[in-house]
Amino acid sequence: MPMYHFELAIKLTQTQKMALVNKITDWHATTFRSPRFIVNVRFMDVAQANLTDTYIGGEQRQINRLFVSLRSGGGRTQEQLEGMADKLEDLWNEAVGKGSIATQLRQIFIKRELDVAKESGFHLPLPGGFEQWVKDNTDELKRLAAEGDPDAAQVVEEIKVRPEFQK
C-alpha cells in the first residue's frame, strides 16, 4: 500500500529506475507522513512482450503510463489528487527526462481502491494515521528489527530521524 505500477514502453536503466523509486518513496513518505516500507513501486516492460495491447482512440500505441493504487478514504480532494499526478509527472521528468513522446510519461491514473492493507504482519491505518500507528507499534517494530525483519528495521531507523514518529 500504496502501489505505484509503471507500464514502460521504453527501456529504463537501473539508475533511472532507482531514481524513480527513491524519489517516489521519499516524496510519498514525507508528504503523507508514512513509513517508507509501505511504498511499493513496480515496473513492467510492455514493449518487449505481448503482455498487453494498448489502444488509445482506437489505435494501438505503446506508451509509458503509471497506475497508482491508494487506500480508500483519507479524504483526499480532487485538487490534492491532481497535485499528486502533477508531482509524479515531475518526478518522472527529473529521473527519465521529458524528451520525445516515446520517453514521456503519457498517462497517470490514481485509484482509491484499497480498503484494507496488511504488510509485514501489521494492519496499516488509513491515510493520516501513520504517525500514531508508528508510535503505538514502536516496541513491536524494535523487537522485530532485532530479530532481523528488514521492514521493521527500516521503520526503526526512520523513528530515529523523523520527529513525527517519536513518542
Whole-structure pTM value: 0.88
Altogether, the residues listed in the chain come to a count of: 167
Asked if residue 162 has pLDDT above 60, the reply is yes
Would you say 47 and 9 are in contact if contact means Cβ atoms under 8 Å apart?
A: yes
Instruction: Check if the beta carbon of residue 6 is closer than 8 Å to that of residue 41.
Output: yes
Residue 145 contacts residue 139 (beta carbons within 8 Å): no
Least confident of 7-21, 51-65, 125-139: 51-65
* The residue type at 128: G
Task: Give the start-to-end residue ranges of the domains of the chain.
Answer: 3-116, 129-167
Nearest to 138 by CA among 162, 102, 111: 162
* 89-101: average pLDDT: 93
How much of the chain, in percent, has pLDDT values that exceed 90?
69
Question: What's the whole-number mean pLDDT along residues 68-89?
Answer: 91
- Residue 90, pLDDT above cutoff 80: yes
For residues 143 and 137, give the distance between their C-alpha atoms in angstroms, rounded to a whole number: 10
Is 60 exceeded by the pLDDT of residue 51?
no
Q: Is-contact 54 62, C-beta < 8 A?
A: yes
What is the pLDDT at residue 22? 97
Average pLDDT for 67-71:
94
Residue 101, pLDDT score: 87
| Residue 142: predicted pLDDT | 95
The structural architecture, per CATH, of the domain 3-116 is 2-Layer Sandwich (3.30)
Supply the pLDDT for residue 49: 61
The cell for 146 is: 532485532
If DSSP codes are grouped into helix, strand and coil, which group holds residue 66? strand
Instruction: Assess whether the previous peptide bond of 127 is cis (omega < 30° from 0).
Output: no
pLDDT band at 58; cut points 50, 70, 90:
confident
pLDDT at position 94 is: 96
Tell me: pLDDT of 137 over 70: yes
